């Protein structure tokens, strides 16, 4: 009986030590970092709201091969004539046609292009946060077929 009592007391002591070790490790652990969103929206370009740039941008050699919207992000696969380093911008003149849903004309192009005339294919992503306040908007990019953007849809 005495032997059993010693084993019981010893197991309580060892069990108590293990429990305090776990608590000590939890207290010194780094606090968890909360991740909001996927972060992919940070990799996407913003739509530029500039009526003057909208008039100047060259969009003729740019054609949209594929387009899709996921959440607030617009993914485009495009063909264009120019250099691989040419920067392309998506520009909106901040005007919305009064219809339901509203219609926005956008231009995808560049203000300056290099001396290349090669046909390039590029995939791009744009954040559509500028259109979220409208709920539903049909986006027409470079006079191509419209694509419906619904704020808050996945």
pLDDT in tens, 10-25: 344 444 444 333 333 2
CA atoms within 13 A on the CB side of 99: 9
- pLDDT tens readout for residues 119-146: 888 899 999 999 999 999 999 998 888 9
Query: What single-letter DSSP state applies at residue 61?
Result: T
- Residue 15 belongs to a domain: no
Q: In angstroms, rounded to a whole number, what is the distance separating the alpha carbons of residues 69 and 27?
A: 44
E-state strands within 41-135: 45-46, 48-49, 62-70, 73-81, 89-97, 102-109, 119-127
Check which CATH number belongs to the domain holding 53 and give it.
2.60.40.2370
Examine residue 2 and state whether it is found in any structural domain, yes or no: no
Structural domain including 83 reads 40-150
The SS3 call for residue 141 is strand
Helix (H, G, I), strand (E, B) or coil at 118: coil
Identify whether 126 is part of a domain.
yes
Where does the pLDDT of residue 113 fall: very low under 50, low under 70, confident under 90, or very high at 90 and above? low
Q: How many domains does the chain have?
A: 1
Q: Considering only 9-13, 60-64, 80-84, which range has the smallest mean pLDDT?
A: 9-13
């Amino acid at each position: 009986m005495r032997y059993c009592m010693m084993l019981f007391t010893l197991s309580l002591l060892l069990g108590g030590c293990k429990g305090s070790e776990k608590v000590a490790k939890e207290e010194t652990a780094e606090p968890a970092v909360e991740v909001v969103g996927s972060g992919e929206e940070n990799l996407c370009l913003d739509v530029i709201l500039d009526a003057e740039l909208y008039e100047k941008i060259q969009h003729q050699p740019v054609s949209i091969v594929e387009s899709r919207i996921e959440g607030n992000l617009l993914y485009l696969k495009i063909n264009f004539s120019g250099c691989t380093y040419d920067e392309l911008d998506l520009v909106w003149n901040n005007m919305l046609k009064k219809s339901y849903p509203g219609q926005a004309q956008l231009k995808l192009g560049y203000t300056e292009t290099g001396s290349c005339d090669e046909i390039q294919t590029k995939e791009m992503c744009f954040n559509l946060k500028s259109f979220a306040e409208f709920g539903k908007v049909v986006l027409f990019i470079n006079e191509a077929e419209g694509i419906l953007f619904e704020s808050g849809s996945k």
